Structure 1
Amino acid sequence: MAAVRAASAELGFAEAAPAWRLRSEQFPSKVGGRPAWLGAAGLPGPADLACALCGRPLAFVLQLYAPLPGRADAFHRSLFLFCCREPPCCAGLRVFRNQLPRKNDFYSYEPPSDDPPPEAGASLCLQLKSGAHLCRVCGCLGPKTCSRCHKAFYCSREHQTLDWRLGHKQACTQSGDLDNTVPDHNFLFPEFEIIIETEDEITPEDVEKEDESEIVGSMGEVPEEELDSMAKHESREDTIFQNFKTKIAQEPEQILRYGRGIAPIWVSGENIPQEQDIPDCPCGAKRIFEFQVMPQLLNYLKADRLGRSVDWGVLAIYTCAESCRLGTGYTEEFVWKQEIADTP
């Protein structure tokens, strides 16, 4: 992702792509499927990726490749977003950051090729270069193993049970590579590549004002102070919502907006975080806005098709202003959810 100009945003769009372009070695930005982990060590574990509300495993939503120009320790840098998709919860959200220098233990110093590799059609790999095994269902760290074949790994008992029921029971005792027999568990979201484009400047349209006499006439004998207060609230709500509509009008298919340090756009004047609502990074630095997920992404996730009720108005992701390195693994950042119900 290119460096962001002051007060500008870059827009993300979902597009179909061949599977090889979404592998870790291509440093992808992508939606759905299994995570294409950046660093192969220090992955978030099952406890980190369990819903804080219902305790069930979170599903991978998207990852964004967002290196920091001028930062040798963040030559490669990605953000990973997860959510709970299990009804009736569908509420838990977590986001993690990982970054690597250009010279590291996992990738070539040279940029990846734009041509498909010879093994482009090869089966899914569920073991990282670090030796860590991944869950057959969700692609997250899998410390649990099938006690029968000792070849299948899982993040949780829930996913082991799901895989057993949907095919591993028959494949367990068969010889060969189990990666060739991973079924569709209906747990993953549909997979797309995220294409980034710079936003063109959009001139906001003038919002037509309501006739004040009609408002007063409909209110009856309401105290003037209360009328003023209500008018100011309605005006602010309308301005925020109109700004949101204007920003997405020219590119209605945008699924995210990126701009490290700029201001997010909100769909409503309700439930907008204040500075004290955004916790500092454990390193002591403030967190700043980095990107937001738009409601248009829900159309691509096909959540309703599976009877899920995942939804949001805006998901705003805040990350460490210093993009610190707490160890060599994945650092949790902060997500703020503005509900669709907050929308005017």
Structure 2
Amino acid sequence: MAVAGPGSVELGFAEEAPAWRLRSEQFPSKVGGRPAWLSFRNQLPRKNEFYSFEPPSENRPPDAGESVCLQLQSGTHLCRVCGCLAPKTCSRCHQAHYCSKEHQTIDWRLVHKQTCTQDQVDHTVPDHNFLFPEFEIVIETEDEIMPEVVEKEEDSDIVESMGETPEEELDSMAKHESREDNIFQKFKTHIAHEPEQILRYGRGIEPIWISGKNIPQDKDIPDCPCGAKRIFEFQVMPQLLNHLKADRLGKSVDWGVLAVFTCAESCSLGSGYMEEFVWKQDVADTP
């Protein structure tokens, strides 16, 4: 993902893409499917021991088959079901790797029961009907909108819809207008010109909240293990739920806003992946 300039916002949109473009060697911006594991946390010089000096090709590589990568270059094994780190192995063949007993059970029932005694590892991993649909995240810069124009348009719509509403009723409605309503309406107005956005990236800016409830204070955001403050970097929007078809799950996931806070110093403490902080804000009841 390209880093937005100071004060600017990059918007992410979900688009279908061929599987080879979403592999780790293509440095993908993606959502769903298996993780595209990289060999670093954030920054690397162009010349490094992990990746080619030249950027990845935009053309389909000749070896782009449908096989699933189940092992990283470091030798770390990945779960056959979800693609996460897999510290567990099948006790019979010691060739199939899993993140948990639950995922081993899923794979055993579907395919591994028939292939467990084979001498070679089976790299043809079936669709376990477990993962979310996979999409590429395409990035665009948010267009400027004049707040004055938006407000005037909204005011005009309100006047037209009110018609000959008595003044007493207008006063009563005004009294019931709450901060919660204002924040929700501001959220809807802000995304109205690009309603399909699933992500907003703007390091160091303020997120747009969907509710007046459960907005974090500075004390609620823990510091990075390096000691630096964490700052807002991007937020995941509720529109993503439609693409993931999460409402079809028995126990559905849900959110209004997922705000991600990362180290202000972009530290390189330790090696590998570093844990960042996510603040989940749900959608409050609104009229």
Q: Same fold (TM over 0.5)?
A: yes
Identity of aligned residues (%): 75
Counterpart mapping for 1:93-132 below 5 A? 97-132=41-76
**Alpha-carbon distance in structure 1 between the residues aligned to 2:255 and 2:27:** 27
CA change 1:123–1:269 in 2 (3 A) is same
Report the counterpart of residue 80 of structure 1 in structure 2: none
How many residue pairs end up in the alignment?
275
**Alpha-carbon distance in structure 1 between the residues aligned to 2:261 and 2:81:** 29
Report the counterpart of residue 161 of structure 1 in structure 2: 105
Report the counterpart of residue 169 of structure 2 in structure 1: 214
Report the counterpart of residue 339 of structure 1 in structure 2: 282
The 3-state SS of whatever aligns with 2:139 is strand
1:244 aligns to 2:199 (yes or no): no
Report the counterpart of residue 5 of structure 1 in structure 2: 5
TM-aligned CA deviation for residue 238 of structure 1: 3.0
**Alpha-carbon distance in structure 2 between the residues aligned to 1:187 and 1:100:** 33
The question of whether the paired residues in 1 share the 8 Å contact of 2:213 and 2:284 is answered with no
Counterpart mapping for 1:317-336 below 5 A? 317-336=260-279
CA change 1:217–1:10 in 2 (3 A) is closer
The 3-state SS of whatever aligns with 2:205 is coil
1:200 aligns to 2:146 (yes or no): no
**Alpha-carbon distance in structure 1 between the residues aligned to 2:142 and 2:78:** 37
Consecutive unaligned residues in structure 2, runs of 5 or more: none
C-alpha root-mean-square deviation of aligned residues, in Å? 2.2
**Alpha-carbon distance in structure 1 between the residues aligned to 2:77 and 2:94:** 12
The runs of at least 4 aligned residues of structure 1 exceeding 4 Å deviation read 209-212, 215-219
The question of whether the paired residues in 1 share the 8 Å contact of 2:70 and 2:78 is answered with yes
Look up the equivalent residue of 1:30 and give its one-letter code: K
Report the counterpart of residue 62 of structure 1 in structure 2: none
Look up the equivalent residue of 1:162 and give its one-letter code: I
Look up the equivalent residue of 2:5 and give its one-letter code: R
1:50-95 Cα offsets, whole Å, 9 max, x none, are xxxxxxxxxxxxxxxxxxxxxxxxxxx7xxxxxxxxxxxxxxxxxx
**Alpha-carbon distance in structure 1 between the residues aligned to 2:144 and 2:167:** 32
**Alpha-carbon distance in structure 2 between the residues aligned to 1:105 and 1:343:** 52
The question of whether the paired residues in 2 share the 8 Å contact of 1:313 and 1:343 is answered with no
Out of 297, 306, 313, the position equivalent to 2:249 is: 306
**Alpha-carbon distance in structure 2 between the residues aligned to 1:109 and 1:176:** 34
Look up the equivalent residue of 2:264 and give its one-letter code: A
**Alpha-carbon distance in structure 1 between the residues aligned to 2:31 and 2:63:** 23
The question of whether the paired residues in 2 share the 8 Å contact of 1:7 and 1:263 is answered with no
The 3-state SS of whatever aligns with 1:341 is coil
Look up the equivalent residue of 2:169 and give its one-letter code: E
The 3-state SS of whatever aligns with 1:284 is coil
1:35 aligns to 2:44 (yes or no): no
The 3-state SS of whatever aligns with 2:54 is coil
The 3-state SS of whatever aligns with 1:105 is coil
The question of whether the paired residues in 1 share the 8 Å contact of 2:4 and 2:202 is answered with yes
Report the counterpart of residue 223 of structure 1 in structure 2: none
Structure 1 length-normalised TM: 0.74
Look up the equivalent residue of 1:237 and give its one-letter code: E
TM-aligned CA deviation for residue 216 of structure 1: 5.2
Report the counterpart of residue 15 of structure 1 in structure 2: 15
